[in-house]
Amino acid sequence: MRILIIGAGVIGLSSAYYLSRAGYDVTVADRHAEVASETSFGNGGQLSYSYVAPLAGPGVVSKLPRWLTQRDSPVRFRPKLSVEQWRWCFEFLSACTRARSELTTQKLLSLSFLSRTLMHELIAAEPSLDFDFVRSGKLVLHRDANAMQSAVDLLAFQRTLGCEQQALSADACVEIEPALAHARSFLAGGIHTPSEDTADCRRFCKGLEAVLRERGVRFLMNTPIDGLKFGAKGVEAICDGAPLAADRIVVASGAGAAQLLKPLGIRVAIYPIKGYSLTFDLQPHITAPHVSITDFARKVVYARLGERLRVGGIADIGGYSLDADPARFATLRKETATLFPEVAQSAASGEWTGLRPATPHGLPIVGPTRYPNLWLNVGHGALGFTLATGSAALLADGLAGSNNRELSSAFVLSH
Ligand X SMILES: Cc1cc2nc3c(=O)[nH]c(=O)nc-3n(C[C@H](O)[C@H](O)[C@H](O)COP(=O)(O)OP(=O)(O)OC[C@H]3O[C@@H](n4cnc5c(N)ncnc54)[C@H](O)[C@@H]3O)c2cc1C
Interface residue list for ligand X (CB under 6 A): 6-12, 29-32, 37-40, 43-46, 48, 224-225, 252-256, 260, 275-277, 301, 312, 354, 356-357, 380-386
Give the integer Cα–Cα distance in Å for 180 and 107. 33
Which CB sits closer to ligand X, 149 or 320?
A: 320
Which CB sits closer to ligand X, 12 or 190?
A: 12
- Hey, is 253 helix, strand or coil? coil
Burial of 199 (0-12, 13-18, 19+ CB in 10 A): buried
The least distance separating ligand X from the CB of residue 185, rounded to whole angstroms, comes to: 27
Give the integer Cα–Cα distance in Å for 223 and 226. 9
Please check whether residue 357 is in contact with residue 378, taking contact to mean a CB–CB distance below 8 angstroms. Answer: yes
Which CB sits closer to ligand X, 207 or 384?
A: 384
The least distance separating ligand X from the CB of residue 274, rounded to whole angstroms, comes to: 7
Angle between helices 201-214 and 10-21 (to 10 degrees): 30
The least distance separating ligand X from the CB of residue 336, rounded to whole angstroms, comes to: 14
Which CB sits closer to ligand X, 11 or 291?
A: 11
Q: Could you tell me the CA-to-CA distances from 233 to 252, 371, 374, 415 in Å, in that order?
A: 21, 11, 11, 19
Which CB sits closer to ligand X, 188 or 225?
A: 225
Please check whether residue 187 is in contact with residue 175, taking contact to mean a CB–CB distance below 8 angstroms. Answer: no
Q: Could you tell me the CA-to-CA distances from 79 to 82, 84, 317 in Å, in that order?
A: 8, 11, 8
Which CB sits closer to ligand X, 304 or 380?
A: 380
Which helix H or strand E contains 257, and what residues bound it? helix 257-261
What phi-psi label fits residue 345: left (phi over 0), alpha (psi between -120 and 50 degrees) or beta?
alpha
